[in-house]
Structure 1
Amino acid sequence: MLAVAVAVPVTCVPAFAAHSGRSAASGDDDPGATLLPPLPVRLGEGNPCTGPSDETATGVTWSQTALGLPRAQRISRGSGATVGVVDTGVAPDVPSLSGRVTALDGADEDCVGHGTFAAGLIAAAPEKGSGIAGVAPAAEIVALRGTDDRGVPSVEKVAEGIRTAADRGAQVIYVGYVLRTGRTELTAAVAHATERDALVVAPAAPDAVPKEELGPDNKMPEGPYWPAAVPEVLSVVDFGPSGVRQKNAPPAYEPDLSAPGSSMVSAGPQGSGHYIGSGASLAAAGVAGTAALVRAYQPDATAAEVTRRLLDTAYPADTPRADPFAALSVVSDKSEAAPAKPVPAHLPQPADPGPRTRSLVIAAAGLTLVLLVGGMAAVIPRGRARGWVPPGRSADDASAAPDGQR
């Protein structure tokens, strides 16, 4: 059975132009626009592998503009960062990824195309005649398979892919599918990656839900989803050009960030043509690319510090929106460094009171002497002038007094 390929019906993408040998499907209003083939989420039994696309998008997509990539990529292009892609595989011969893909354990064959598409959103370099580019167009890719060749994920494959990517030095690990089971195994795999300073990014909702996984009355599952529900994982949900999710999109479970994920354009598993797709997994690819930009620009930052930076600089919304330019350029008010220990104050020892006391005694004695001399200078001349006669008596009275009373 072929699952729904995208969360919304495939329509013309107004944010870019495409060319092909066929006439435009959108009519005379936009003769340069045409439908891109839809990206499958899974392949039914007996369905052929996804082939090359005959359509090439020539302009810049709405998602590139929404993420502010022209400004962000003037600061960092992801050179030196390695992103693990745990998905359906990544075709290493795709021109926009050529020379930058290391595929392990058979992950160089991508029958579905989802892993190659996601890797393009993360790290595709622009090609001549096309403006389509990934978030971190100079990053390296380590591809690992997390699904079978039909695109059905398994707990064991995803867990092993996360571990292997971390062991191979991936600084960011992208997981392209969600699982409703595997809490123990995937939590342990994420812990393994965290110990090796790798940041795991995963979708907080499935891109599409097969009929056999629907609940009673065709109710969609609501999570939790793994590995996104592991606390150390950066979980991501999608939004569209209008800034909101499609109403019929599967419910997301406690996402940390949101990013463009509707009407996304990227490479197919063969050739240089492009596909269109929608879903939370594609939004997670954009956040993984953003993390690669930051890790390349700040190579000494830990995975936890990069996570905090992405969250602190996100654009405010119901679910904060990833902002690559802000993550690279904004100086956060929240210091991630440990506070400096207070320096103890060193007060000088109290001075010896002896010299000060002696100085005060000497000064007081000097003042007393000055006052005494001043007083004598005023009294002696007057006494001499009066013949030392007390006030109120004349000199004649003094001479008439008996000798004993003078």
Structure 2
Amino acid sequence: MPYDRCRRAMGLAAVAALLALVPALPAAADGEPVSLPPLRLRMATDDICATASTKVAELHPWTYQALQLPRSWQLSRGRGVTVAVIDTGVSPRTPSLKGRVNVVGDAGQDCVGHGSFVAGLIAAAATGSATVTGVAPSAEILALRGTDTEGNPSMEQIAQGIRTAADRRAGVIYIGQVLAGDGKKLADAVAYAVGRDALVIAPAAPDVAPQGADGRPDTRPRAYWPAQIPEVVSVVDFGPAGSRPEAAPNALAPDLSAPGDAVVGIGVEGDGHFLGSGSSLAAAHVAGAAALMRSYLPDLSASDVTRRLQEVAYPDSIPRLDVYAGLTAVLPTARAQPEAGPDPAQIPHGTAGATRNRALMIGGGALGVVLLIGASMIVVPRGRARGWRAAQ
């Protein structure tokens, strides 16, 4: 049976009420909205590398309370857990990740800015006004490149990144890109990582729906790698107003949903902020939640954490991430098994013959009584008529 249905239903109603009250964009101290620069997903050949943002969100973004971060941080901040980020790279220059980014190869150069942004959603620590903080602000980041410098993903790079992250003992492996086509290399790499007790998390759909032949968004459901691999926790996004319609339909049966629309995050340097939307951002929040759980409950395996993420989620058409319940829920030691039906009735060996004999004895006795009564009804009247004298 799912964990505590009543608690989750009440919690979902409370979160829905909260999301209805919070704005989609951050606000300045005087209440006026702040216009943050948009997060890039790709960059053109003639674009310059990402730089610092000059805009700062003055208030906590809506995701801060939706993820229940203040309550969760009383229990865990992700210390001792390494989260691998396989994306466009992660800049070690950003102040909120200073000293906690380990780079593989050239992954320390993030021209697009996407990898640094999601790394901040996972593990950014409080700096400056402390308005933007990651889910697990004490976790370590292992940066691996899964794209070229312009942000175009590579199946081979991502597969190698997964294997390298597993060899480096990353407890959580986040993949920020989705790919179509033959995913055998990714499936083999994920199996390799799962065998080393790593939890793999990926977006279930692209941040921007692909375009059809007519130039319009093609929202037909389709399978993307690595999200369609059974061992991968696949995530789709929602925002303050609910699901994001232009991308969510592309996902095929995602495991979880998490905040991913109108999300405020960090840049490659400086204290400024950017604004982005997409399933890749939702998956980053789930990766941060997994880091909190692996830090607070270190005896849990990666599969245990996967089960915990899914079974304590808020009930919805796509279950919603519940960070605090993932840390505090008491679950059975194993998944509930279907109740067994009653065993068929069986007659013990050796009783059939005895039952038949007993029935014959009872029947024979009853017949004897009937015959005796019948004989009496004939003999007694005749005896009386002759005065009980012997016949001549």
Same fold at TM > 0.5? yes
SS of residue paired to 1:288: helix
Alpha-carbon distance in 2 for matches of 1:160, 1:215: 33
- RMSD between aligned residues: 1.9
Who is 2:227 aligned against?
A: 228
Structure 1 residue 216: Cα displacement: 5.8
Who is 2:276 aligned against?
A: 277
Residues 305, 336 of structure 1: 8 Å contact kept: no
Residues 60, 132 of structure 2: 8 Å contact kept: yes
Change (3 A) 1:337 1:226: closer
Please give the residue correspondences for 1:257-296 in structure 2 after superposition, counting only pairs within 5 Å: 257-296=256-295
Alpha-carbon distance in 2 for matches of 1:14, 1:206: 21
Q: What does the per-residue CA deviation read over 1:331-387, in whole Å, with 9 as the maximum and x for residues that have no partner?
A: 12x323899xxxxxxxxxxxxxxxxxxxxxxxxxxxxxxxxxxxxxxxxxxxxxxxx
Change (3 A) 1:45 1:195: same
SS of residue paired to 2:243: coil
Please give the residue correspondences for 1:7-406 in structure 2 after superposition, counting only pairs within 5 Å: 16-18=26-28, 32-209=32-209, 211=211, 214-215=212-213, 218=216, 219-220=218-219, 222-242=221-241, 244-249=242-247, 251-332=250-331, 334-336=332-334
Who is 1:373 aligned against?
A: none
Residues 25, 34 of structure 2: 8 Å contact kept: no
Change (3 A) 1:217 1:195: same
Change (3 A) 1:192 1:179: same
TM-score (structure 2 length as normaliser): 0.77
Change (3 A) 1:82 1:181: same
Alpha-carbon distance in 2 for matches of 1:18, 1:105: 39
Alpha-carbon distance in 2 for matches of 1:50, 1:328: 36
Alpha-carbon distance in 1 for matches of 2:282, 2:252: 14
Structure 1 residue 217: Cα displacement: 6.4
Answer with 1 or 2: which has the greater Rg. Answer: 1
Structure 1 residue 33: Cα displacement: 2.6
Who is 1:390 aligned against?
A: none
Residues 95, 269 of structure 2: 8 Å contact kept: no
Who is 2:388 aligned against?
A: none
Residues 85, 175 of structure 2: 8 Å contact kept: yes
Counterpart residue type for residue 208 of structure 1: V
Alpha-carbon distance in 2 for matches of 1:204, 1:42: 18
Residues 264, 273 of structure 2: 8 Å contact kept: yes
Structure 1 residue 32: Cα displacement: 4.0
Q: What does the per-residue CA deviation read over 1:287-312, in whole Å, with 9 as the maximum and x for residues that have no partner?
A: 00000000001111100001001111
Counterpart residue type for residue 36 of structure 2: L
SS of residue paired to 1:57: coil
Counterpart residue type for residue 75 of structure 2: I
Change (3 A) 1:153 1:42: same
Alpha-carbon distance in 1 for matches of 2:25, 2:152: 32
TM-score (structure 1 length as normaliser): 0.74
Alpha-carbon distance in 2 for matches of 1:338, 1:209: 37
Residues 57, 130 of structure 1: 8 Å contact kept: no
Runs of 4+ in 1 over 3 A off after TM superposition: 12-16, 214-218
Structure 1 residue 13: Cα displacement: 5.4
Alpha-carbon distance in 2 for matches of 1:57, 1:117: 14
Counterpart residue type for residue 161 of structure 2: G
Counterpart residue type for residue 17 of structure 1: A
Who is 2:9 aligned against?
A: none
Residues 88, 148 of structure 2: 8 Å contact kept: yes
Alpha-carbon distance in 2 for matches of 1:223, 1:120: 29
Counterpart residue type for residue 246 of structure 2: N
Structure 1 residue 104: Cα displacement: 0.6
Counterpart residue type for residue 27 of structure 2: A
Who is 2:380 aligned against?
A: none
Counting matched residue pairs gives 314
SS of residue paired to 1:56: coil
